[in-house]
A and B are shown apart, each in its own frame.
Chain A
Amino acid sequence: MSDDLRPLVDRCLAGEQRAMIALVDRYRGQVFGLCYRMLGHRQDAEDAAQEAFVRVLRTLHRWDRERPFEPWLLAIAGNRCRTALAKRSRRPAVQSLTEPIRDPSPAASGGNYLAEEVALGLKRLRPEYRQAFVLLHENELSYAEIARAMRCPVGTIKTWVHRARRSLVGHLRRRGVLEDRPIPLRQSAAG
């Protein structure tokens, strides 16, 4: 735990609202990013992130100070997201039937298109694969921290992440992402 986080947590435990706001401001990007990536919907992500912070702040006394704060926080956020996904599956909402179509124009073959395709591939992953993948590559947690957060063995988390990558690469291949993309490796290796 970083040195400046400990007094902030103490102030939150004392009921100081400014400290709570500071704590939320500090981690809201990561928590909201995970929720948005898991749920794919801005409002749902904001609700889940808020629920996660409320739960964290109300159970802050249970947090083990010997362990890092961030994985604990993201674990709670991930649980909130999975709960929201379970509710959504029981109550099917109106979903968009449209799917982005690849635009072959040069202006559209930039980074935005690639990011959209990756985001679309992420949406199609199983929730546990998606959570493990996002925690590793976006939140930059270690495998051990992810395993602790998701309460799974490290080997299971590695398997999920590898499957998520293969699934995403397969999605990019099917979507023809590489048709106009140069192959820098051959050039660099030849050069």
Chain B
Amino acid sequence: MKCNEFERRLQRELDRGREPRDSAALARHALRCGSCARTLQLYDALWDGIDMLEVPEPSADFSRRTVQAVVAAAAADAPSGRASLSPWQMRLAAVIAVMAAAILIVVFLPPWNRVAPPRGGGSAETVAARSGDASRGDASRGNGPLRSGALSIVDASPRKDSTTEKLEKLPTTLDSATADGARPVDADAAASGTVSMPPAYRDVIHGLTARLSDVPLEEIKNAGVAEGLRPLTSPFSAAISLLRKTLAVGGEPKPDAPQAHSPEREPQRDFFRERNVA
């Protein structure tokens, strides 16, 4: 027997479950070959080591706990009566549920609640939707001079264009009250009703505020106020103020910037007056 045959025969004996030392042929070759004798000795030691391997026993209540786990698993499946979902099926179901919820929200949400306070551009579309056909007619005129009562904001493009700039330049004061010599009224405070103001203004502003999304522009123009007051600018200024608060065009309003003429504050620019001078 040669050494390569020795290795092959040794493996065959082990495959048959026989101990290496029991093979006389292997022992005879090992007597003549020191390397194979050492290999045979190592396999012999391995065989002994396998026989002496210690296998600990499982815990005493292993069988009982195992059967309890089987019963619990069967009970968990029984009442449901449905097939268990795989992880990817669970994920798909979650995606479908989210999409369905989004669709329901879009369908059933009241239209006035869909207007989210935009940041930056893209706000004019909302204004156009609120202002109705009259404002669209103004938009077709292009970038003409802004007239009192003409809400010419219809461009729905998200960029900040001339229309947006016009919106930023709109006056925020109740200039009719100023012109008539009355006490200046802050537009924001007037809209919120926290300051005393002539009942005519208050009624018109509150009415427009409540129905802002439904009021056509023509109705705003022709809103009836008390005699001696300008019929257009006061409610319209309040409406513009509300729109500016809603749309936040040009970024967040500066908290320290005055929103109306006030003797204690720095006078605000009067855009109408400046334009007339020009």
Interface residues of A in 6-44 (CB under 8 A from B): 17, 20-21, 24-25, 28-29, 32-33, 36-37, 42
Given A118-B46, A138-B53, answer yes or no on A49-B58 (Cβ-Cβ < 8 Å).
Answer: yes
Given A162-B11, A183-B41, answer yes or no on A50-B46 (Cβ-Cβ < 8 Å).
Answer: no
Interface size for A (C-beta < 8 A) is: 49
Question: Could you list some 30 contacts between A and B, CB below 8 A?
Answer: A17-B71, A20-B67, A21-B67, A28-B63, A37-B55, A46-B58, A46-B59, A49-B62, A53-B66, A54-B66, A54-B70, A57-B70, A58-B70, A111-B48, A114-B52, A115-B49, A118-B50, A118-B53, A119-B54, A162-B11, A169-B42, A169-B43, A178-B45, A181-B45, A183-B37, A183-B41, A185-B27, A186-B30, A189-B30, A190-B31
Residues of A within 8 A of B (CB): 17, 20-21, 24-25, 28-29, 32-33, 36-37, 42, 45-46, 49-50, 53-54, 57-58, 111-112, 114-115, 117-119, 137-138, 140, 143, 158, 161-162, 165, 168-169, 172-173, 177-178, 181, 183-186, 188-190
Residues of B within 8 A of A (CB): 11, 14-15, 17, 21, 24, 26-28, 30-31, 37-46, 48-50, 52-59, 62-67, 69-71, 73-74
Residue pair B30, A165 in contact (C-beta under 8 Å): no
Shortest distance from the beta carbon of B150 to any chain A beta carbon, whole Å: 68
Complex Cα distance A138/B49, Å? 11
Chain A residues, CB < 8 A from B66 = 20, 24, 50, 53-54, 57
Residue pair B41, A24 in contact (C-beta under 8 Å): no
Residue pair A189, B31 in contact (C-beta under 8 Å): yes
Shortest distance from the beta carbon of B86 to any chain A beta carbon, whole Å: 16
Residue pair B54, A54 in contact (C-beta under 8 Å): no
Complex Cα distance A37/B39, Å? 25
Residue pair B21, A185 in contact (C-beta under 8 Å): yes
Complex Cα distance A177/B11, Å? 21
Residue pair A169, B39 in contact (C-beta under 8 Å): yes
Residue pair A165, B50 in contact (C-beta under 8 Å): no
Complex Cα distance A58/B74, Å? 8
Residue pair A172, B21 in contact (C-beta under 8 Å): no
Chain B residues, CB < 8 A from A49 = 58, 62
Q: For the complex, would chain A's binding face be called helix, strand, loop or mixed by DSSP majority?
A: helix
Residue pair B45, A177 in contact (C-beta under 8 Å): yes
Chain B residues, CB < 8 A from A185 = 21, 26-27, 30-31, 37, 40-41, 44
Given A165-B11, A189-B31, answer yes or no on A20-B70 (Cβ-Cβ < 8 Å).
Answer: yes
Chain B residues, CB < 8 A from A184 = 21, 44
Chain B residues, CB < 8 A from A36 = 55-56
Complex Cα distance A71/B58, Å? 20
Complex Cα distance A185/B22, Å? 9
Residue pair B69, A54 in contact (C-beta under 8 Å): yes
Complex Cα distance A137/B15, Å? 9
Q: From B24, which residue of chain A is reached at the shortest CB distance? A: A189
Chain A residues, CB < 8 A from B17 = 140
Residue pair A172, B46 in contact (C-beta under 8 Å): yes
Chain A residues, CB < 8 A from B45 = 114, 172, 177-178, 181
Chain B residues, CB < 8 A from A21 = 63-64, 67
Chain B residues, CB < 8 A from A173 = 42
Chain B residues, CB < 8 A from A45 = 58
Chain B residues, CB < 8 A from A37 = 53, 55
Given A137-B50, A177-B45, answer yes or no on A28-B39 (Cβ-Cβ < 8 Å).
Answer: no
Shortest distance from the beta carbon of A31 to any chain B beta carbon, whole Å: 9
Residue pair A54, B73 in contact (C-beta under 8 Å): yes
Chain B residues, CB < 8 A from A50 = 62, 65-66, 69
Q: A28-B58, A165-B46, A185-B27 are in contact. List 19 more A-B contacts (CB 8 A).
A: A28-B62, A42-B56, A46-B58, A49-B62, A111-B48, A137-B50, A138-B50, A158-B15, A162-B11, A169-B42, A178-B38, A178-B42, A181-B45, A183-B37, A184-B21, A185-B21, A185-B40, A185-B44, A186-B31
Shortest distance from the beta carbon of B188 to any chain A beta carbon, whole Å: 59
Shortest distance from the beta carbon of A78 to any chain B beta carbon, whole Å: 16
Complex Cα distance A114/B56, Å? 17
